[in-house]
Amino acid sequence: MASTETVYLRKKVNLLGAVCLIVGTVVGSGIFIAPKGVLKNSGNVGLSLVVWFATGVFSTFGALCYAELGTSIKKSGGHYIYLLETLGPLPAFLRLWAEFIMIRPAVSSVVALAFGQYIAEPFFSPCPAPEVLVKMLSIMGFSFVVAVNCWSVNWTSRLQILLTTIKMGALVLIIVPGVIKLSSGQTENFHKAFDTSSLTLDKLPLAVYAGLYAYAGWFYLNFVTEEVINPKRNIPLSIILSMVTVTIAYLLMNISYYTVMTSQDVLESNAVAVTFADRALQGFSSIIPILVAMSCLGALMGGYFAGPRMLFSGSREEQWPVLFAMIHIRSTLLCPALLLMYPMVVFMILAGELFGLVNFYSFSRWLFIGLTTMGLMVHRYRNPNLPRPFKVYLFVPAVFTVVCFFIVGMSLYSDPVNTGISFAFTLTGIPVYFLVVQKQRLPLCINRAFHILTKKLQILLEVMPQEVQTY
């Protein structure tokens, strides 16, 4: 038995914590900014609601696949560790590479920008908030998240539960007025809901991307598998409870939006929830932006708590610098991974634009998620006798994988610039893998300098490798 002074990642995530982690990261900025992107690229109200339902079902399919992977492969690390165990080291490293240089910084910067936008928007409405102010508030919010994540696991968990409670209150506050108005007969905004005059099929994948962005986060629990109490029960159960709740809530929220606002109002709004509050909640309109900002903060905290576990896992498998597998000797937090990614996120906040960033990282993210669920089918074929406490029907990963690859392929046609850049960034990991990871062909002087730097940072950050095997 490990003593209280032993350094390792402890099992602290119970069923409530698991549900709050999933809901807390899924319900973030997405539902408050994605309706504009879904409507713009789907062309009409009716099809946008179909997209919201379809992406919810699609995300649930993916979440069920990850529930099986999480209960049969007991290591933390999410996408990375599943690709390593099923398709091999090169796809796994490319996912790790994309996570560090592109996906994690872009995801965090998108949520941080949404936080800054909702904090600043009420003070300048109906005019747009100054871009510089939004970016500065975004950096401040992200810095707070990093500080809490580097301070204490318990504080992070408690704050995550509190922020999840607040964001569910925000959802209820938006759903109830819209449902009341709809039940009283206010349905004029749904007339000609399926008017196809503005529909262009080449933009439909971007509508799906925007919807998937709002549901993204269902896979974060798999990043912390080794820290989940009774994972055989709590991983599948928390995923099912979370995805059913979120899908129903998202549909009701969009119906509420369209009951109160016309499609033109949604397209012209920089902050849909604020515009909705101005129309439907005159007495409470000033509260909505604060609740939405807290929701974004919760999503940012959950994603930044789980995300570095992938780098931790990659480092433990000797595919990433050893410093990323080290844990703080007192707080047992992954401080090196958290701190070393901080400047990259700040850079993307300063240089990026919200919707462009969503398209930028979505290509690489969904490409690797499709490969992961394909790996699930490969894993079943190679290991037919492996115990699987939770098992999905084979058509679920098959359908999910095909749709993933179709969306990824179509997005190259719909937005070739952002998705092409994302693809190019991903491919830059191939020479890095063959030169540095597989054969370690770096000159001896560089290896020595890197070793010295690692020791200095280890002393400075007060970190050391995990002393107990937790899988």
349-366 tens-digit pLDDT: 887 666 667 667 778 888
| pLDDT on residue 283 | 66
Going by pLDDT thresholds of 50, 70 and 90, the confidence category of residue 420 is: confident
Q: Half-sphere exposure of residue 377, counting CA atoms within 13 Å on the CB side?
A: 15
Is the predicted pLDDT of residue 228 greater than 60, yes or no?
A: yes
The C-alpha torsion from 288 through 294 and 297 to 302, rounded to 10°, is -120
Of the two residues 452 and 2, the one the predictor is more confident about is: 452
Max mean pLDDT range (55-64, 261-270, 317-326): 55-64
Q: Encoding tokens for residue 439?
A: 């054969």
pLDDT above 70 as % of the chain: 92
What is the phi-psi region of residue 319: left when phi exceeds 0, alpha when psi lies from -120 to 50, beta otherwise?
alpha
pLDDT number for residue 83: 94
Task: Check residue 1 and give its pLDDT.
Answer: 39
Whether residue 146 has pLDDT greater than 60: yes
Residue that wins the pLDDT comparison between 65 and 123: 65
Residue pLDDT, tens place only, 290-342: 888 888 888 888 787 777 888 888 888 888 888 888 887 776 667 777 788 88
Task: Tell me how far apart the 2 most distant CA atoms of the chain are, in Å.
Answer: 75
Tokens coding 144: 């707070």
- Residue 397, token pair as written in the block: 């990963």
Q: pLDDT value at position 371?
A: 94
Q: Specify the pLDDT at position 5.
A: 66
Q: In one letter, which amino acid is 63?
A: A
pLDDT score, position 82: 94
- Return the pLDDT at 439: 65
Q: What is the pLDDT of residue 170?
A: 82
Count other C-beta atoms under 10 Å from residue 351's C-beta: 10
Listed in sequence order, the DSSP H helices in 261-281 are 263-268, 272-280
Phi, psi of 451 (to 5 degrees): -65, -45
User: What is the identity of the amino acid at 17?
Assistant: G
List the one residue out of 43, 40, 45 whose CA is nearest residue 261: 45
Query: What are the φ and ψ backbone dihedral angles of 305, each rounded to 5 degrees?
Result: -75, -45
Name 228's bridge partners.
Answer: 13
Instruction: Supply φ then ψ for residue 228, to 5 degrees.
Output: -90, 130
Q: Return the number of other C-beta atoms located less than 10 Å from residue 468's C-beta.
A: 12
What would the mean pLDDT of 100-114 be, rounded to a whole number? 84
pLDDT at position 395: 92
Is 270 or 88 the better-scoring residue by pLDDT? 88
Q: What pLDDT, on the 0 to 100 scale, is given for residue 2?
A: 45
Res 141 pLDDT > 50: yes
User: Would the pLDDT of 121 be above 70?
Assistant: yes
Residue with tokens 């007991």: 74
Helices (H), strands (E): how many in the chain? 20, 2
- Mean pLDDT of all residues in 77-106: 90
Section 142-160 average pLDDT = 80
**What is the Cα–Cα distance from 144 to 29, expressed in whole angstroms?**
17
Where is 136: in which H helix or E strand? helix 131-151
**Would you say residue 4 has pLDDT above 70?**
no
Cα distance between residue 428 and residue 447, in whole Å? 21
Q: Determine the pLDDT at residue 370.
A: 93
> Closest Cα partner for 388 from 65, 21, 91, 76?
65
Token pair of 112 as six digits: 């941080």
Q: Which two tokens stand for residue 65?
A: 């696949």
CB 253 within 8 A of CB 171: yes
Across the range 149-176, mean pLDDT stands at 80
pLDDT of residue 199 exceeding 70, the answer is: no
| CA 126 from centre of chain | 30
Q: What is the mean pLDDT of the chain?
A: 83
Name which of 163, 182, 188, 192 is nearest 280 in CA terms. Answer: 182
Q: Average pLDDT in the 135-145 region?
A: 90
Question: What Rg, from alpha-carbon coordinates, does the chain have?
Answer: 22
Question: How many other CB atoms sit within 10 Å of the CB of residue 91?
Answer: 20
Tell me: the pLDDT tens digits for 63-81? 999 999 999 998 888 899 9
Does pLDDT of 13 surpass 70?
A: yes
Asked if 308 and 338 count as a contact pair (C-beta separation under 8 A), the reply is yes
Per-residue pLDDT tens for 351-405? Answer: 766 666 766 777 888 899 999 999 999 999 998 888 888 999 999 999 999 988 9
Output the pTM of the full model.
0.85
